[in-house]
Structure 1
Amino acid sequence: MNEIKQIQAKGKYIRLSTQKTRRILNQIRGKKYQDASLILEFMPYKPSKVIKKILEAAGNTASNLKYEKQHLIIRQAFANEGPRLKRFQPRAQGRAFKIQKPTCHITIQLTLQ
């Protein structure tokens, strides 16, 4: 009996907003591997390049396990919040404004069609 594996790839501590990343992941969830790759190729947003790299990593893992890429579907794609980088911006009269730079963890899971 050939059991279907869940192929997974993660990107951690990526300097992107979780909200903006989720907007792109919602577009590719449930799509075929090649369709999702094509969608990400032509999206004008910054997170799409990073997501495409993570998707390719999952696809390469699948091909190492002898699965064909044209039979793969994106089962899950989600982004969780990572730790925030805390910085301070000097302002007038000795004040300081806090700047929080967000990070996120992106997970993409593939299955066979």
Structure 2
Amino acid sequence: MFMKKKNKTRIYALGQHISMSAHKARRVIDQIRGRSYEETLMILELMPYRASYSIFKLVYSAAANASDNMGSDEKDLIICKAEVNEGTTVKKLKPRARGRSYPIKRPTCHITIGVKDISLYEGEYYVDPYINNINKDYLTPLKNLRWKNAYTGMIDENVYSSGGVWDKK
């Protein structure tokens, strides 16, 4: 039923001590997890957050690592792992009036981006984790998953038909 896997290598890029809150970086990371490399670059270029630039550089670095180390092509890469962990907090004291001081906390975070080449997994199947009985009918070949398709829009079609964001009533 399942074919023998060739090489299960994942390539990572790690950015440490990036000076931003982990919560703000997770807001961007959640949008790119599981997407293709090219789609991820388009999304990150258009996002208005400060964390987008740091994550863009890490995704670009992970793809460069994959092409250099494994000889992978960029169109076959997907983001298999994207996580943000809290780093150390830089603590300073700001002088205030009457000899008092006010603490300033500058949070940092560690961002890990992992990419995987799906051309190494040709002929294998994706098993949906929510299905208990493994049946051949429920298996989807990896070539039919969403990251193999061309660019898919981020805006849901129901936003326009149901009023959505623009409903001012």
| TM-score, length-scaled by structure 1 | 0.95
SS of the residue aligned with 1:11?
strand
Stretches of structure 1 lacking an aligned partner (at least 5 in a row): none
SS of the residue aligned with 2:88?
coil
Distance 2:53 2:93 in 1: 29
Alpha-carbon distance, 1:2 to partner:
3.5
Distance 1:25 1:84 in 2: 21
Which protein shows a greater Rg? 2
1:24 matched to 2:32? The reply is no
- RMSD of aligned residue pairs (Cα, Å): 1.1
Distance 2:83 2:65 in 1: 19
Q: Which has the higher contact order (CA 8 A, sep 6+)?
A: 1
Q: Which has the higher strand share?
A: 1
Q: 1:85 aligns with which of 87, 90, 108?
A: 90
Stretches of structure 2 lacking an aligned partner (at least 5 in a row): 119-169
SS of the residue aligned with 2:58?
helix
Distance 2:20 2:63 in 1: 22
Aligned-residue identity in percent: 41
Cα displacement string for residues 80-104 of structure 1 (whole angstroms, at most 9, x for unaligned residues) = 1111111111112111111100011
| TM-score, length-scaled by structure 2 | 0.65
1:49 matched to 2:53? The reply is yes
